A and B are shown apart, each in its own frame.
Chain A
Amino acid sequence: MIWSFGNYLAFFEDKIYWLTFLKTALYSIAITALAFAITFPVAFYLSKVISKRYTRFMVLLLLIPIWVGELVTIYGWMILLGDHGVINHFLLSIGLINTPIIMLYTDFSMTIGLVYMSMLFMIIPVMSALDSLDNSIIEAASDLGASKWTIFRQIIIPYAMPGIASGSIIVFMLIIGDYVAPNILGGKSSLWFTEQIYNEFLATFNWNEGAAFGFMLLFLSSLIIWIALKLSGQRLDKVGS
């Protein structure tokens, strides 16, 4: 065994590696934000609006895709989004379009897959943060004439912040470390950093370089989370509980 930093250097020297990582990281941040935007109304609805009797059933529905497993659900999206897929078939048959829209094997289909497989992990922490928010605070603000937007920005979001932060950490790590969705739904141009690691191990059998890439992934994604926590003024031990 020879000790060397060569495998780490490969990451910086070969443009494709760190460019792929950069792209993966930026996409992961954007998709995490998207997952938050899509699921926050749902989390709010389930914990504050809907009658408590139905909450359990609605949450159970959310769990089903996770229990079924990523591979089956991503496969489902593959059938839905394909050129001859269900959505195109439907749009063609009602005459809305004349030629199929190309959705599969693009960044769009990959984004859908990544949001789909990770959104539950945003909803649950945000819901549990919102559950402990006392309704009378919102009522008081409303009685004092605050608009919905003010209540949302000044009460609900600050209160749910620890939940949002922990949800974002889990979702970000799930997305940046995912392989199935980018590989099955993504196109040639949407290369994900994990795919490089898989290739090193399962195709080119360069385990040493693959190990270096794996460590870079862990190190850099932890660094991104650390920076994000610093910027948002959250503390890890508070977020973790």
Chain B
Amino acid sequence: MIRSLPSSTFYKWSFRIYITLFYIFLIMPLATVAILAFNDSNFIALPWNGFTLDWFFSNTEDRVGLFWDENLILSIWTSLQTGFIVALLSTVVGTIAALLFEEENFRFKGLLYFLALSPLVIPGVILGISILISSTVAGNYIENTFGLDIEFLRPSFWLVVIGQFSFGATYVMLLVSARLKKFDRALEEAALSLRATRLQAIWYVTIPYLKSAIIGAFVVAFLISFSNFNTTIFLAGSDPTLPIDLYSRIKFSSTPILNAVSFLIVTVITIFAIFSLFINNKK
């Protein structure tokens, strides 16, 4: 049943077959889109008509490849920018929140911690509509009262950043907190007794200890931002992020260029995953 206990051959093999089937189920959709990106056909599905790179590089009337589709490139670029800014903001605020909740005591700590975690269970659609409504109401009020038109309070690039930051920081906080729980507080106390200030102790002792967790959290925040749809759809203005662009293409005009984009994403993520495995094994 477990490693140390003997089991019957039938039990062992049926378990193995189940796990194999599960992993096939897991990989199948990704492998399919990745392979079909090279299918020489004008439709997204089979049959297989031979290998082609048209859906990446072609620029003819009936086939516009990924690298020639300006709208797609633009939405990828928007997503990269959004992801980077969201990850940066989330990492700074999330790390500070983790330090605060792990190391300090203050009034209403339990309630505030609960609030900080709430984006994990609140559906993205609700975050999206509540940020949209409150920012629009605030924007209208400011415009009517002071005559100022504040752009980021309307659906726009910066409203998307604000929306994604609202849950990105939570994930960073959780990841950094997990590492901080294993931190030996005596190290910080030693620094303090050697007359370091509280800030110096955190900067020279705690932060270096947390470095790999913080980098990991930055990457996770970036990926969460890059793939978010549910919240972003309400907040995006005239410059859609990649998932929103993909959604409207899937809904209204499926061409194999979608397979090419998917292939690109799957490949980058896989390389990245292998890379992270390699780094973690080295340590």
User: Is the CB–CB distance between B227 and A201 below 8 Å?
Assistant: no
User: Is the CB–CB distance between B230 and A179 below 8 Å?
Assistant: yes
Given A72-B265, A84-B45: A177 in contact with B246 (beta carbons within 8 A): no
Which of B1, B26, B43, B125 makes the CB contact (< 8 A) with A194? B125
CB neighbours (8 Å) of A12 from chain B are none
Q: Is A78 located at the chain interface by the 8 A CB criterion? A: yes
CB neighbours (8 Å) of A174 from chain B are 123
Q: Is B120 located at the chain interface by the 8 A CB criterion? A: yes
User: Is the CB–CB distance between A68 and B247 below 8 Å?
Assistant: no
Given A42-B22, A173-B123, A198-B125: A71 in contact with B3 (beta carbons within 8 A): no
A105 to B226, CA, bound (A): 27
User: Is the CB–CB distance between B126 and A217 below 8 Å?
Assistant: yes
Find the residue from A45, A79, A82 having the highest chain B CB count within 10 A. Answer: A79
Q: Is A64 located at the chain interface by the 8 A CB criterion? A: yes
A89 to B126, CA, bound (A): 39
The stretch of B62-70, B129-137, B193-201 in contact with A is B129-137
Fill in one digit per residue for A153-182: 1 if any B CB lies within 8 Å of its CB, else 0: 000000000000000011001101111100
Fill in one digit per residue for A196-228: 1 if any B CB lies within 8 Å of its CB, else 0: 011001100001001100110110010000000
Given A42-B22, A61-B23, A170-B120: A67 in contact with B3 (beta carbons within 8 A): no
User: Is the CB–CB distance between A64 and B46 below 8 Å?
Assistant: no
A241 to B30, CA, bound (A): 33
Q: Is A138 located at the chain interface by the 8 A CB criterion? A: yes
CB neighbours (8 Å) of B237 from chain A are none
CB neighbours (8 Å) of A64 from chain B are 30, 266, 269-270, 273
User: Is the CB–CB distance between B46 and A89 below 8 Å?
Assistant: yes
Query: How many of A's residues come within 8 Å of B, CB to CB?
Result: 66
A42 to B23, CA, bound (A): 9
A142 to B5, CA, bound (A): 8
Q: Write the nearest CB–CB distance from A218 to chain B, whole angstroms.
A: 5
User: Is the CB–CB distance between B45 and A63 below 8 Å?
Assistant: no
Fill in one digit per residue for A53-95: 1 if any B CB lies within 8 Å of its CB, else 0: 0001110111111011111110111111010111001000000
Instruction: Select from chain A the residue with minimum beta-carbon distance to B227.
Output: A69
User: Is the CB–CB distance between A218 and B123 below 8 Å?
Assistant: yes
Q: Is B2 located at the chain interface by the 8 A CB criterion? A: yes
Q: Is A235 located at the chain interface by the 8 A CB criterion? A: no
A139 to B27, CA, bound (A): 34
CB neighbours (8 Å) of A116 from chain B are 25-26, 29
Q: Is A230 located at the chain interface by the 8 A CB criterion? A: no
Given A42-B22, A76-B28, A180-B230: A211 in contact with B129 (beta carbons within 8 A): yes
User: Is the CB–CB distance between A75 and B1 below 8 Å?
Assistant: no
CB neighbours (8 Å) of A75 from chain B are 29, 33, 246, 250, 258, 262
User: Is the CB–CB distance between B123 and A217 below 8 Å?
Assistant: yes
Q: Write the nearest CB–CB distance from A106 to chain B, whole angstroms.
A: 17
Q: Write the nearest CB–CB distance from B46 to chain A, whole angstroms.
A: 4
Q: Is B169 located at the chain interface by the 8 A CB criterion? A: no
CB neighbours (8 Å) of B125 from chain A are 177, 179, 194, 197-198, 214, 217
Which of B30, B47, B129, B270 makes the CB contact (< 8 A) with A201? B129
Fill in one digit per residue for B40-73: 1 if any A CB lies within 8 Å of its CB, else 0: 0001111100000000000000000000000000
Q: A89-B47, A173-B122 are in contact. List 4 more A-B contacts (CB 8 A).
A: A60-B276, A67-B269, A173-B121, A184-B251
- Chain A: residues with CB nearer than 8 A to chain B? 38, 41-42, 45, 48-49, 51, 56-58, 60-65, 67-73, 75-80, 82, 84-86, 89, 116, 135, 138-139, 142, 148, 151, 169-170, 173-174, 176-180, 183-184, 194, 197-198, 201-202, 207, 210-211, 214-215, 217-218, 221, 240
User: What 10 A-B pairs come out closest when comparing CB atoms?
Assistant: A177-B123, A76-B29, A69-B227, A89-B46, A48-B2, A72-B262, A76-B33, A173-B121, A67-B269, A71-B243
- 9 A-B pairs with CB atoms under 8 Å apart are A38-B22, A75-B33, A79-B32, A84-B46, A89-B47, A142-B5, A177-B125, A201-B129, A214-B125
